[in-house]
């Protein structure tokens, strides 16, 4: 790995969140190799997508010594075609019908009328809100997922938030983005645009993978490196972001660690040479889900307090 070469081209040596010094971490990826990694995990891509990333070269992680925010340089992100492929046009399990933070947000959003979700995927969350009589809008880069959402009657546009925000200033009571901030090349610009859509007194619902939890202790997952994730977040980085924009954190939530344990177990087994076809096998997947079912049923002491995959925060705009 020629880390030196990458560092010499204007690296992010200052944290864009808290302005503390950033240093290169040990993670460097060749995008062609990352695409081969996705393929090994059972995903297939059009030749043009593979070629595009093969030509993209390498990217290196820079991490803030203070808040723990990490940014890949250059931040090579997923394209519409990339997300169409990994989500099987929005119809695979890539977009979860029910997540831990969806359940929390559904409760907290009861008093909101107009709700925007940015990066809404196949819009399963918005569909639930719409069924409760809320006025919902979605923005999604994956045009196939947006189409699938529209086919079910959920209004989702396939536009950039940069284009959407100027036309919808202070329009929404709530703006949600779950597991999205880590996908975008310019998280601050994204955050500012999201905030612009929120009315004063409105609330932002944000969730990101928590690198200060169990995820940070695991070997890198293909889903946590470019072109899928280009930044890394911690509760401290989110808190600093909130402070910068004078937002008040109304509630914090940490997903319990046991939701991530099956993925952790699968990763360990794969590392020991478990073939990809076994991991995709239905019977295997049933057995793989057993530890999760048992842990959910018995909720052992200790695991309850260990932060899992996701950190979730509700931020109020003054």
Stretch that binds Zn ion, among 62-70, 85-93, 107-115, 171-179 (CB under 5 A): 62-70
Say whether residue 165 binds Zn ion (CB under 5 A): no
Considering only 69-77, 145-153, 157-165, 293-301, which stretch makes contact with Zn ion by CB under 5 A?
69-77
Figure out which of the listed residues 6, 12, 15, 228 binds Zn ion, where binding follows CB under 5 A: 15
Closest approach, Cβ 97 to Zn ion, in A, equals 34
Whole-angstrom CA distances from 216 to 105, 209, 284, 306, 307 are 25, 9, 26, 12, 10
Size of the site for Zn ion (CB under 5 A): 8
Stretch of residues binding Zn ion (CB under 5 A), selected from 10-18, 78-86, 99-107, 127-135: 10-18
Task: Please enumerate in sequence order all residues whose Cβ is within 8 A of that of 122, keeping only pairs 6 or more positions apart, or say none.
Answer: 87, 90, 91, 95, 145, 148, 149
- Return the structure tokens found at 37: 């990694």
Q: Are strands 156-157 and 198-209 parallel, antiparallel or unpaired?
A: unpaired
* Cα–Cα–Cα angle for 310, 45, 5, rounded to 5 degrees: 70
Stretch that binds Zn ion, among 14-22, 149-157, 208-216, 223-231 (CB under 5 A): 14-22
**Segment contacting Zn ion by CB under 5 A, of 26-34, 60-68, 182-190, 286-294:** 60-68
Toward Zn ion, which CB reaches closer, 14 or 132? 14
Closer CB to Zn ion, residue 15 or residue 123? Answer: 15
> Residue 281 Cβ, how far from Zn ion at the closest point, in Å?
42
Asked if 52 contacts 227 with a C-beta cutoff of 8 angstroms, the reply is: no
β-strand partners of 71: 62, 231
**Which residue of 38, 53, 62, 69 would you call a contact of Zn ion, by CB under 5 A?**
69
Q: Which range in 11-19, 47-55, 147-155, 179-187 contacts Zn ion by CB under 5 A?
A: 11-19
Which residues are CB-contacts of 4 (< 8 A; sequence separation ≥ 6)? none
- 17 binds Zn ion, rule: CB under 5 A: yes
Tell the smallest beta-carbon distance from residue 173 to Zn ion (Å).
30
Applying CB under 5 A, among 28, 34, 64, 206 the residue interacting with Zn ion is 64
Cα–Cα separations (whole angstroms), residue 243 to 18, 92, 196, 200, 240? 10, 37, 16, 16, 5
| Closer by beta carbon to Zn ion, 99 or else 234 | 234
- Whichever of 20 and 81 has its CB closer to Zn ion, that residue is 20
Among 18, 116, 295, 311, binds Zn ion (CB under 5 A): 18
**Among the listed residues 214, 174, 210, the one whose alpha carbon sits nearest the alpha carbon of residue 303:** 214
- Distance from C-alpha of 185 to C-alpha of 188, rounded to nearest angstrom: 9
Residues 6+ apart with CB under 8 A from 229: 182, 183, 209, 223
**Distant-in-sequence, close-in-space partners of 83: CB < 8 Å, separation ≥ 6:** 141, 142, 145
Contact call for residue 67 and Zn ion (CB under 5 A): yes
CB-nearer residue toward Zn ion: 18 or 144 = 18
Q: Is 214 in the site for Zn ion (CB under 5 A)?
A: no
Binding mask 179-198 for Zn ion (x = CB under 5 A): --------------------
Buried b vs exposed e over 77-93: b needs ≥16 C-beta within 10 Å?
A: bbbbebbbbbbeebeee
Per DSSP, 154 falls in state -
Interaction site with Zn ion (CB under 5 A): 15, 17-18, 20, 64, 66-67, 69
């Amino acid at each position: 790995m020629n880390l030196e070469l990458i560092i010499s081209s204007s690296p992010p040596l200052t944290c864009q969140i808290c302005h503390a010094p950033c240093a290169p971490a040990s993670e460097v990826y060749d995008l062609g190799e990352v695409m081969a990694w996705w393929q090994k995990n059972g995903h297939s891509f059009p030749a043009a997508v593979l070629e595009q990333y093969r030509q993209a070269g390498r990217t290196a992680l820079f991490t803030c010594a203070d808040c723990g925010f990490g940014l890949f340089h250059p931040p090579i992100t997923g394209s519409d075609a990339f997300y169409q492929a990994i989500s099987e046009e929005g119809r695979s399990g890539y977009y979860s019908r029910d997540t831990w933070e969806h359940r929390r947000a559904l409760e907290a959003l009861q008093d909101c009328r107009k709700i925007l979700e940015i990066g809404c995927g196949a819009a399963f969350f918005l569909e639930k809100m719409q069924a409760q009589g809320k006025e919902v809008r979605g923005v999604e880069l994956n045009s196939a997922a947006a189409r699938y959402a529209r086919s079910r009657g959920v209004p989702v546009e396939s536009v950039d938030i940069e284009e959407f925000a100027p036309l919808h200033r202070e329009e929404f009571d709530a703006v949600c983005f779950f597991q999205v901030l880590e996908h975008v090349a310019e998280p601050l610009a994204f955050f500012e645009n999201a905030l612009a859509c929120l009315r004063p007194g409105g609330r932002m619902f944000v969730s990101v993978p928590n690198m200060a939890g169990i995820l940070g202790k695991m070997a890198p997952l293909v889903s946590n490196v470019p072109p899928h994730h280009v930044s890394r977040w911690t509760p401290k980085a989110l808190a600093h972001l909130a402070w910068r924009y004078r937002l008040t954190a109304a509630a914090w939530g940490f997903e319990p660690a046991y939701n991530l344990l099956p993925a952790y177990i699968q990763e360990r087994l794969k590392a020991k040479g478990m073939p990809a076809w076994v991991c995709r096998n239905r019977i295997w997947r049933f057995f793989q889900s057993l530890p999760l079912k048992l842990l959910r049923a018995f909720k052992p002491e200790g695991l309850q307090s260990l932060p899992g995959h996701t950190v979730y925060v509700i931020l109020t705009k003054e």
